[in-house]
Amino acid sequence: MTRIFVPRDAAARAVGADRVAAALQQEAERRGLAIKLVRTGSRGLFWLEPMVEIETPVGRIAYGPVTPTDVAGLFEAGLVDGGAHALRIGRPEEVPFLKRQTRVTFARCGIVDPTSLDDYKAHGGYRGLARARELGPAATVQEVTASGLRGRGGAGFPTGIKWKTVADTSADRKYIVCNADEGDSGTYADRMLMEGDPFGLIEGMTIAGYAVGAGKGYIYIRSEYPDAIRAMEQALAVARAAGCLDGFDLEVRVGAGAYVCGEETSLLESLEGRRGQVRAKPPLPAHKGLFGRPTVINNLVTLATVPAILAEGAKAYADLGMGRSRGTMPIQIAGNARHGGLFEAAFGLTLGEIVEGIGGGTASGRPVRAVQVGGPLGAYFPRSLFDTPFDYEAFTARDGLIGHGGVVVFDDSVDMARQARFALEFCAIESCGKCTPCRIGSIRGKETMDRIIAGERREANLALIEDLCQTLKFGSLCALGGFTPFPVMSAIKHFPEDFGRPRLAVAAE
Amino acid sequence: MPIVWDEIRGREIIVRHAGREGPLLPILHDFQATFGCIPSTAVPFVAEALNLTRAEVHGVVSFYHDFRSQPAGRHVLKLCRAEACQSMGGEAMARRALNHFGLEWGGTTPDGNLTVEATYCLGLCACGPSAMLDGEPIGRLRPASLDDIAREVAVR
């Protein structure tokens, strides 16, 4: 029986994957062909979605983007044997966008059946946990430290050190919390993993629990991700029934539409059933986290990378990357990009290579003008900074951040004063209200930006914005207020002409 | 379809979550799924069951964007207003959608059929502008998509 793979990833469904799957089934029945439809995650080549793959003796053959009306023609062209057709892509692994990647965290995404534990194991699943058990808890923590893995949520804190702190703190209970509150615009790596390879996260959290001595884990997923919530619940039920959790208890919790809950301490407050307001640190969550107990709280990508690190060894992971940024990063090319999608690669590619070389420039065909890296709290970079390597320190050195790896491309129709205003407005909408700079500063900043846009006392108001950004940066409790100055100040600095100032010489290209 | 506030149903939901750590958010989610909103009468009810003050429960309900004090329309369309969708002309598309249904942000049509809300990122950022209709994702929005949405909302 021929197996046909159609993604059930939310982005693929958003562009019609369900209708294509139904059409494939119907047409196969009409022709009396026996096919087995497998709903996978997405490979992450979103401009080709819905992308359909057929299992053939020479490997999988892909077609895309497929619409329901293409289906009859595809069968006519010999789809089940990988026949020639205008939509035939060939072997997905040979598509340059995929071929150039180093897939570690996303090795199985888009390939395996995300509901099948057997499929997971057949593709290397649970080798990491087995090796952790051989090593013992302390050596497992040491292995994660040696890999150089840093927090993929954006802060970039060394994961092994966090784990060791929790392991070394004695308590009656400890917790593992997965931060799947992926609120940054331009990011979807967590969502893709939950929908495409949920057992990888379950294994990663089980390893974390074993390494630090925690018996309970929570996966906090934002409510904007109903597909991911369903996929995770489904995989957890399968893993639990198969006895894979092995004494470690895992539970999904759903957020309620608050961006600030992606900040780790407000996420913990939310899990405890309170307003998602930020906690002052110290104490660190590693000492006093969920319900006052030592807690490992990691981003989803961080935890989902752990099984591969254990399975292949710390060295294999640490050999990838540059400087202090070791391993790979799932870069998410988004917005006005011709080839938008997930690109996992070792750290060190330049921003220009990512945007132009891999992303293929804009979808609109107009010139790229600005790129926001790292979500709504990330800086806007002009083309003149396209030589910046994708690396935690390199972006910090240029007053930016890589955050969770989102790269949002804008063409030359963008008005950077509007973008700066939006950054302040977003901060005002999502502020938890605990600290004054963020709660009040964001509103006053938005009002001041409105005056600048209206041409009112521009220089004086720009000076006021700069002053306010200093207060936000140094006076806020968390990254929401503290990092809002990145998009605001970068827009003013690199795109002065949008704020009524003279154009920079370098920006004239 | 949501039902009107009913203490017995409320009690059932609370009992279902008994013994869970930090049960307030799961309870509120279930309340909203059952009653279409968090009715004001439910606040003291939950407070007493969980040994919290009314202020604490009200504080939580009012903090999170998801929780409503009034039920939404029979269908809810969420339009993404975040940066990745902005870069694809999302703001103009959203304005067109609001005009199409004669609504402003957060508004409900007079027949109670459709509520249109803003959302900030659905994680469909390489297929923008994007939206979500009753929990179902919609990508690559174009003017024709609005007719599809209108048709779908009318028949269901």
pLDDT in tens, A183-198: 999 999 999 999 999 9
Work out the minimum CA distance from A222 to partner chain B, whole angstroms. 10
pTM, rounded to two decimals:
0.97
Q: Angle at Cα A336 formed by Cα A345 and Cα A346, nearest 5°?
A: 5
Residue B156 confidence (pLDDT)? 66
Q: Please state whether beta strands A368-373 and A406-411 pair in parallel, antiparallel, or not at all (unpaired).
A: antiparallel
Residue A509 confidence (pLDDT)? 46
Q: How many residues comprise chain A?
A: 509
Sign of CA dihedral A365, B132, A201, A211: positive
C-beta atoms of B87 and A409 within 8 A = yes
Average pLDDT estimate for B137-156:
92
> B98 and B140 share a domain?
yes
C-beta atoms of A274 and B140 within 8 A = no
Burial (Cβ within 10 Å: 0-12, 13-18, ≥19) of residue A464: middle
Which tokens is B50 given?
Answer: 């969980």
> A159 and A272 share a domain?
yes
- To test the contact with chain A by mutation, choose from B127, B130, B138 the residue with the greatest count of A C-beta atoms within 10 A, namely B127
d(CA A169, CA A164): 9
pLDDT in tens, A201-218: 999 999 999 999 999 999
d(CA B52, CA B42): 13
| DSSP result, A310-344 | HHH-HHHHHTSEETTEESEEEEEEEES-TT-EEEE
Q: Is the residue at A462 inside a domain?
A: yes
C-alpha distances (whole Å) from A354 to each of A248, A339, A345, B72, B112 are: 40, 10, 10, 42, 46
Note if the bond before A68 is cis, omega within 30 degrees.
no
Query: ipTM for the complex?
Result: 0.98
A291: left (phi over 0), alpha (psi -120 to 50) or beta: left
In 3D space, the residue among B87, B60, B6 whose CA is nearest the CA of residue A432 turns out to be B60
C-beta atoms of B65 and A256 within 8 A = yes
Percent of chain A with pLDDT over 90: 98
Pairwise pLDDT comparison (A79 vs A508), residue with the higher score: A79
> A449 and A467 share a domain?
yes
Percent of chain A with pLDDT over 70: 99
pLDDT in tens, B109-140: 999 999 999 999 999 999 999 999 999 999 99
CATH of the domain at A300: 3.40.50.11540
Residue B155 confidence (pLDDT)? 77
The number of folded domains in chain B is 2
B residues 137..156 contacting A (CB < 8 A): 137-140
Q: Is the residue at B2 inside a domain?
A: no
Q: Which residues contact A437 (CB under 8 A, 6 or more apart)?
A: A471, A472, A475, A476, A481
Q: Residue for token digits 């690559």?
A: B140
A residues 167..206 contacting B (CB < 8 A): 182-188, 190-191
CATH of the domain at A436: 1.20.1440.230
d(CA A45, CA A15): 13
Q: Is the residue at B53 inside a domain?
A: yes
**How high does pLDDT run on average in chain B?**
96
Number of helical (H) and strand (E) elements in chain B, helices listed first: 7, 4
A residues 247..306 contacting B (CB < 8 A): 253-259, 270-277, 291
Q: How many CB atoms sit inside 10 A of residue A275's CB?
A: 20
- Whether the pLDDT of residue A507 is over 50: the answer is no
C-beta atoms of B125 and A335 within 8 A = yes
Number of helical (H) and strand (E) elements in chain A, helices listed first: 21, 16
> A144 and A276 share a domain?
yes
pLDDT in tens, A382-420: 999 999 999 999 999 999 999 999 999 999 999 999 999
Give the domain extent around B127.
75-155
Average pLDDT estimate for A449-460:
98
pLDDT in tens, A97-131: 999 999 999 999 999 999 999 999 999 999 999 99
Residue A246 confidence (pLDDT)? 81
Nearest by CB: B64 against A191, A258, A332: A258
C-beta atoms of A224 and B119 within 8 A = yes
pLDDT in tens, B22-52: 999 999 999 999 999 999 999 999 999 999 9
> A16 and A149 share a domain?
no
